[in-house]
C-alpha cells in the first residue's frame, strides 16, 4: 500500500498568498508549509480582491467626507500599508536596475538587489504616484471605486503570466524572498484567469456602453507584452521586483485607458 506524503490542505496556497502579498498577521493564526509559497502567484489576483477592496473602500467612503484629492491619496496609502509597499519597492528597484544597469545583465540584477534606492527609482515612483493619482482624479469617485475593484485583480492576473513566459533570473538562494515561483499547470492557470476575469466581467457589464471593453482588455496586455520584451532582452528571466513592477504599470495603464474613455 502506497502512503501519500502530501499532507498539504486545499487552503494552504491561498493562505500563503495572503501572508506573502499583505502584511496581515495571518502567520500568527496558521503557517502553511514552505512549498505553498512557491504557488503564491496562482492566488495573486485573489489577494487583489482584498487589496483592491481596501483601496476602493477607502476611496469611496473617504470621498464622502473629505476632498476628493485627499481621498485618492488616502486610498493609495491604504493599499501600500496593507501590502507593506511590496510592489512599490519592486517598482523602485525595477526603475533603478533597468535605468542604471544599461544592457549588463549582472549589473542590472546587482542594482535591483541593492537595498538603496537610486535616482531612477525615486523619479520612477514619484512619476508613477502622480500619474496614478491624476488618472483616478479624472474619474468620478463612483467610477474610480469600481474601476479599482476590477483593475487590481485583472492587472495581477496579467502580470502573473510572466512566470510562464520566462525562467527566474536568479537561483533560489539569491532571491530576496528565498522562493522561486513554480510554473502553473492547467488547473492553476484556469483558477488564475477566473480570479482576474470575474471582477473585470462585472465591471464591463456595469460600464457597458460607457467604455470600449476591447481597449480595456487589450491595452494592459499590450503594455505587458512590451515590458516582457524589455525584461527578456536585458535579463533573460524575471525577478520578484519585475513581478511587482509589471503589476503596477499594467494597472496604471488600465486607469489611464478608462480616464481616456470616460
Per-residue confidence (pLDDT) for residue 113, from 0 to 100: 87
Per-residue confidence (pLDDT) for residue 214, from 0 to 100: 92
Give the pTM: 0.92
Per-residue confidence (pLDDT) for residue 2, from 0 to 100: 45
Beta-carbon contacts of 32 under 8 Å, excluding residues fewer than 6 positions away, are: 8, 9, 12, 13, 15, 16, 19
* H-type alpha helices, the chain: 12-21, 44-65, 68-83, 86-100, 105-113, 119-137, 141-159, 162-165, 186-207, 213-235, 240-261
DSSP state of 115: S
Round to whole Å and give the CA distance between 122 and 109.
18
Per-residue confidence (pLDDT) for residue 103, from 0 to 100: 84
Walk along the chain (262 residues) and give the pLDDT tens digit of each residue: 444 445 668 789 999 999 999 999 998 998 999 888 899 999 999 999 999 999 999 999 999 999 999 999 999 999 999 999 999 999 999 999 998 888 889 999 989 888 888 889 999 999 999 999 999 999 999 999 999 999 999 999 999 999 999 999 877 666 666 678 888 999 999 999 999 999 999 999 999 989 898 999 999 999 999 999 999 999 999 998 999 999 999 999 999 999 999 8
Per-residue confidence (pLDDT) for residue 172, from 0 to 100: 66
C-alpha 82 chain-centroid distance = 13
Q: Which three cell numbers stand for residue 233?
A: 532582452
Per-residue confidence (pLDDT) for residue 5, from 0 to 100: 46
Per-residue confidence (pLDDT) for residue 181, from 0 to 100: 87
Per-residue confidence (pLDDT) for residue 54, from 0 to 100: 97
Q: Which three cell numbers stand for residue 135?
A: 488618472
Q: 167-206 as b/e, with b when 16 or more CB fall inside 10 Å?
A: ebbbeeeebeeebbbeebeeebeebbeebbbbbbeebbee
247 contacts 181 by C-beta, under 8 angstroms = no
Amino acid at each position: 500500500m502506497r502512503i501519500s506524503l502530501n499532507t498539504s490542505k486545499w487552503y494552504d496556497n491561498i493562505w500563503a498568498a495572503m501572508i506573502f502579498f499583505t502584511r496581515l498577521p495571518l502567520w500568527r493564526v496558521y503557517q502553511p508549509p514552505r512549498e505553498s509559497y512557491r504557488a503564491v502567484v496562482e492566488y495573486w489576483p485573489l489577494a487583489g480582491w482584498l487589496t483592491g477592496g481596501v483601496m476602493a473602500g477607502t476611496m469611496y467612503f473617504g470621498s464622502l467626507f473629505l476632498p476628493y484629492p485627499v481621498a485618492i491619496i488616502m486610498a493609495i496609502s491604504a493599499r501600500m500599508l496593507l501590502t507593506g509597499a511590496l510592489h512599490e519597492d519592486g517598482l523602485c528597484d525595477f526603475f533603478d536596475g533597468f535605468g542604471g544597469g544599461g544592457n549588463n545583465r549582472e549589473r542590472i540584477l546587482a542594482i535591483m538587489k541593492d537595498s538603496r534606492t537610486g535616482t531612477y527609482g525615486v523619479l520612477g515612483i514619484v512619476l508613477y504616484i502622480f500619474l496614478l493619482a491624476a488618472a483616478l482624479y479624472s474619474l468620478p469617485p463612483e467610477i474610480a471605486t469600481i474601476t479599482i475593484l476590477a483593475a487590481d485583480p485583472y492587472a495581477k492576473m496579467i502580470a502573473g503570466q510572466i512566470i510562464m513566459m520566462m525562467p527566474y533570473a536568479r537561483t533560489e538562494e539569491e532571491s530576496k524572498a528565498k522562493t522561486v515561483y513554480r510554473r502553473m499547470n492547467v488547473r492553476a492557470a484556469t483558477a488564475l484567469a477566473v480570479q482576474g476575469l470575474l471582477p473585470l466581467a462585472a465591471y464591463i457589464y456595469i460600464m457597458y456602453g460607457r467604455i470600449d471593453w476591447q481597449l480595456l482588455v487589450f491595452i494592459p496586455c499590450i503594455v505587458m507584452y512590451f515590458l516582457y520584451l524589455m525584461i527578456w532582452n536585458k535579463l533573460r528571466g524575471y525577478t520578484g521586483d519585475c513581478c511587482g513592477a509589471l503589476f503596477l504599470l499594467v494597472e496604471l495603464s488600465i486607469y489611464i485607458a478608462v480616464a481616456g474613455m470616460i
